[in-house]
Amino acid sequence: MRDDHMDIPTYDDMLAAEERIRPHIRRTPIRTSDYLNELTGAQLFFKCENFQEPGAFKVRGASNAVFGLDEEQAKLGVATHSSGNHASCLSYAAMRRGIPCNVVMPRTAPQAKKDTVRRYGGKITECEPSTSSREETFAKVQAETGGDFVHPYNDPRVIAGQGTCSKEFMEQTDGLDMVVAPIGGGGMISGTCLTLSTLAPETKVIAAEPEQADDAYRSFKAGHIIADDAPKTIADGLLVPLKDLTWHFVKNHVSDIYTASEEEIIDAMKLSWKHLRMVIEPSCAVPLAIILKNKDAFAGKRVGVVITGGNVDLDKLPWN
Amino acid sequence: MRDDHMDIPTYDDMLAAEERIRPHIRRTPIRTSDYLNELTGAQLFFKCENFQEPGAFKVRGASNAVFGLDEEQAKLGVATHSSGNHASCLSYAAMRRGIPCNVVMPRTAPQAKKDTVRRYGGKITECEPSTSSREETFAKVQAETGGDFVHPYNDPRVIAGQGTCSKEFMEQTDGLDMVVAPIGGGGMISGTCLTLSTLAPETKVIAAEPEQADDAYRSFKAGHIIADDAPKTIADGLLVPLKDLTWHFVKNHVSDIYTASEEEIIDAMKLSWKHLRMVIEPSCAVPLAIILKNKDAFAGKRVGVVITGGNVDLDKLPWN
């Protein structure tokens, strides 16, 4: 186990991550849509992290953690608890390095998610869908395997890795007035803050959150972390609460947080599929939803939108 | 009316088209998927023409025709008959030049297609869903408006425009062993042949066709054009027959034509949505379907696949 998980990552950590993960991730393209520009009055730039091989930006942070391990720790591999993109991206990165990856997942997680983790060689240990069972099971798995715990977002290596996305974004667009990303645990938003606060301090960082899981919004307004027990939203990548590291970045560098209803999220998702012709997750439709809802805040601006992932159950689309 | 519609377009026509349409189209990105490479044994490069603003490669040929008109003809605008991407792409190009676009469409065409044409300022005249009604209605519309007829594919300006796609494709990939594209009327395939026969004569051009609309396959084998009356396939962009200009290119430059069943097309479409995270039409899933079906022909090769379009009715997906 590393003992610096509570350290705030620095801009140099992000630069080191960029070098480290370059062979293992894609420099994803930027998309634009005249139609969505007209509709919003903003000049939108979409950074397509759904086009990473495992379909989500989380491959950046996961790869930074995996490829930063020393040889001794690498032999024991990595471990995490997640039922989402972090589990598959960590498995993917571990597979590329040829080291073990142990994932604790609720037995109720969708079969498709389990299949993806296994396709990338991750070993799943199932727990009951409760925090106590997850923690107990994870402690056991970690004790048995010695795998290095890579938290889905509250880990400086993960945040530094996610920060590489904004660096590419600024290089590919010649600058932006603001960057909008969804917020759940705050990994992507923290990485964005980390990079932009040094590289482009005039670029605002805006977080987009589902109304039905608006703990970050309420934390931001209250000035301290508020964690909800079990929020329910279609944006299933955004259910988790802020933690100390991500709260640090949200508190200090985020300009504003806006929220959107379930219906607004679904509408924005369908609009993206139709006009960007991309498969995107509900979670990453939240930025477009809040832009459409608060046009005055974005009109006339150069707005970067992080399309965080594209892993969707095609048999269960929310508009069918 | 131009009187050179029957002329075979040349490589120089394609180069002139490239210059002419550059401000009006996107240089679309290339995508790759480690997963699909493993599955097929080939090294696949996908050229994302679904990411053109109106969602299809046809904006290339349509823009070449529209922006090549002299001022006098431009005032009278353009006219066509089409219920698919050509209608919306021609309307889009005409809108960008600020000239009229008249489209004859069967009254039974999907509302979404009509909406798109109108969104781009195209004027629709409805006809009955029969060849005689279409021809009669179109003749009347053309006589009344004087619009220049831009055929969806059997027009040298259109073929030269479509040929610009392969030029970009070769530049973006540093060369390919073969390029696979779907074949309907043969506009994209002809443009591909036009460009590659000069630029990269060692690169094979392979056409992919639905089994249930395999008139190009049968024409290719027979050595003369065979046109079906009313083929039915989910690949609704590929229903039309070859014409003299496109047959010229198919006959002289296509290496092979493979076919796929409806089920194979739907499977390949879903696979593309899942692993490329892109919205693609059934028509442009046919290349992946034939590659999966004929692995030996493609294994170990650098294979370019033209993703021709992404305009899909999201409320009626073939796997739901």
Q: What is the pLDDT of residues B75-84, one digit of tens each?
A: 999 999 987 8
pLDDT of A46 > 50? The answer is yes
pLDDT of B112 > 60? The answer is yes
Q: Do A29 and B33 touch (CB under 8 A)?
A: no
Residues 6 or more apart from A252 whose CB is under 8 A from it?
A193, A197
pLDDT of B228 > 90? The answer is no
pLDDT at B230: 79
The DSSP secondary-structure symbol of A56 reads B
Lowest mean pLDDT among A154-163, A229-238, B53-62: A229-238
Interface contact B27, partner A, CB < 8 A: no
Q: Do A315 and B314 touch (CB under 8 A)?
A: no
Interface contact B116, partner A, CB < 8 A: no
pLDDT at A111: 84
Q: Do B278 and A279 touch (CB under 8 A)?
A: yes
The DSSP secondary-structure symbol of A234 reads S
pLDDT at A208: 98
pLDDT at B109: 85
- pLDDT class for B113, splitting at 50, 70, 90? confident
CA–CA distance, A83 with A277 (Å, rounded to integer)? 27
Give the nearest partner residue to B315 out of A33, A315, A319, using CB atoms.
A319
Interface contact A55, partner B, CB < 8 A: yes
pLDDT at A149: 97
Give the nearest partner residue to A274 out of B31, B33, B314, using CB atoms.
B314
SS3 labels along chain B: CCCCCCCCCCHHHHHHHHHHHHHHCCCCCEECCHHHHHHHCCEEEEEEHHHCCCCECHHHHHHHHHHCCCHHHHHHCEEEECCCHHHHHHHHHHHHHCCCEEEEEECCCCHHHHHHHHHCCCEEEEECCCHHHHHHHHHHHHHHHCCEECCCCCCHHHHHHHHHHHHHHHHHHCCCCEEEEECCCCHHHHHHHHHHHHHCCCCEEEEEEEHHHCHHHHHHHHCCCCCCCCCCCCCCCCCCCCCHHHHHHHHHHEEEEEEECHHHHHHHHHHHHHHHCECCCHHHHHHHHHHHHCHHHHCCCEEEEEECECCCCCCCCCCC
Q: How far is A136 from chain B (nearest CA, A)?
A: 34
CB-based burial label for B47 (10 Å; 0-12, 13-18, 19+): buried
For chains A and B, what is the number of CB pairs under 8 angstroms? Answer: 53
pLDDT at B110: 82
pLDDT of A5 > 80? The answer is no
Give the nearest partner residue to B274 out of A33, A51, A314, using CB atoms.
A314
Residues 6 or more apart from B307 whose CB is under 8 A from it?
B46, B47, B48, B49, B50, B272, B278, B280, B284
State mean pLDDT over B229-239: 88
Contact A193, A205 (CB under 8 A): yes
- pLDDT class for A286, splitting at 50, 70, 90? very high
pLDDT at A153: 97
Interface contact B314, partner A, CB < 8 A: yes
Q: Do A317 and B314 touch (CB under 8 A)?
A: yes
More confident residue, A129 or B183: B183
Q: Do B274 and A35 touch (CB under 8 A)?
A: no
pLDDT at A1: 40
Interface contact B53, partner A, CB < 8 A: yes
| Residues from chain B contacting residue A276 (CB–CB below 8 Å) | 51
CA–CA distance, A191 with A160 (Å, rounded to integer)? 6
pLDDT of A117 > 80? The answer is yes
Q: Do A278 and B277 touch (CB under 8 A)?
A: yes
Q: Do B320 and A315 touch (CB under 8 A)?
A: yes
Q: What is the pLDDT of residues A187-196, one digit of tens each?
A: 999 999 999 9
Which B residues 157-196 touch A at CB under 8 Å?
none
Beta strands at B178-182 and A78-81: parallel, antiparallel or unpaired: unpaired
State mean pLDDT over A54-63: 98
Interface contact A282, partner B, CB < 8 A: no
Q: What percent of chain B has pLDDT over 70?
A: 98
Q: What is the pLDDT of residues B165-211, one digit of tens each?
A: 999 999 999 899 999 999 999 999 999 999 999 999 999 999 999 99
Q: What is the pLDDT of residues A172-185, one digit of tens each?
A: 998 999 999 999 99
State mean pLDDT over B46-65: 98
Interface contact B201, partner A, CB < 8 A: no
Closest residue in chain A to residue B50, using alpha carbons only? A277
Interface contact B23, partner A, CB < 8 A: no
Q: How far is B247 from chain A (nearest CA, A)?
A: 31
Q: What percent of chain B has pLDDT over 90?
A: 89
Interface contact A279, partner B, CB < 8 A: yes
Q: How far is B46 from chain A (nearest CA, A)?
A: 12
- Which residues on neighbouring strands pair with residue B106, listed in sequence order? B127
pLDDT of B126 > 90? The answer is yes
Q: Do A277 and B33 touch (CB under 8 A)?
A: no
Pick from B36, B115, B277, B307 the residue to mutate for testing the A interface (most A CBs within 10 Å): B277
CA–CA distance, B288 with B109 (Å, rounded to integer)? 27
Closest residue in chain A to residue B277, using alpha carbons only? A279
Q: What is the pLDDT of residues A250-264, one digit of tens each?
A: 999 999 999 999 999
Q: What is the pLDDT of residues B15-29, one digit of tens each?
A: 999 999 999 999 999
Write down the mean pLDDT value for chain A.
95
pLDDT of A3 > 50? The answer is no
Q: Do B29 and A33 touch (CB under 8 A)?
A: no
pLDDT at A304: 98
CA–CA distance, A129 with A84 (Å, rounded to integer)? 14
pLDDT of B1 > 50? The answer is no
pLDDT at A113: 85
Q: Do B51 and A273 touch (CB under 8 A)?
A: no
Domain architecture of chain A: domains with CATH:
11-57+155-307 (3.40.50.1100), 59-149 (3.40.50.1100)
Give the nearest partner residue to A310 out of B53, B277, B311, using CB atoms.
B277
- CA distance between the termini of chain A: 46
Q: What is the pLDDT of residues A268-285, one digit of tens each?
A: 999 999 999 999 999 999
pLDDT of A4 > 70? The answer is no
Q: Do A53 and B35 touch (CB under 8 A)?
A: yes
Q: Do B315 and A310 touch (CB under 8 A)?
A: no
Number of residues that this document lists for chain B: 320
pLDDT at A73: 97
Q: Do B31 and A51 touch (CB under 8 A)?
A: yes
Q: How many CB atoms lie within 10 A of CB B278?
A: 25
Please state the φ and ψ torsions of residue B148, each to the nearest 5 degrees.
-75, 125
Closest residue in chain A to residue B281, using alpha carbons only? A277
Q: What percent of chain A has pLDDT over 90?
A: 89
CA–CA distance, A182 with A58 (Å, rounded to integer)? 13
Pick from A277, A281, A308, A319 the residue to mutate for testing the B interface (most B CBs within 10 Å): A277
Interface contact A53, partner B, CB < 8 A: yes
pLDDT at A6: 58
| Residues from chain A contacting residue B55 (CB–CB below 8 Å) | 277
Interface contact B115, partner A, CB < 8 A: no
pLDDT of B3 > 50? The answer is no
Contact B150, B142 (CB under 8 A): no
Q: What percent of chain A has pLDDT over 70?
A: 98
Q: In what order do the strands lie in the sheet with A123-127?
A: A123-127, A101-106, A78-81, A148-149
- pLDDT class for B6, splitting at 50, 70, 90? low
Give the nearest partner residue to A320 out of B31, B53, B320, using CB atoms.
B320
The DSSP secondary-structure symbol of A155 reads S
Closest residue in chain B to residue A314, using alpha carbons only? B274
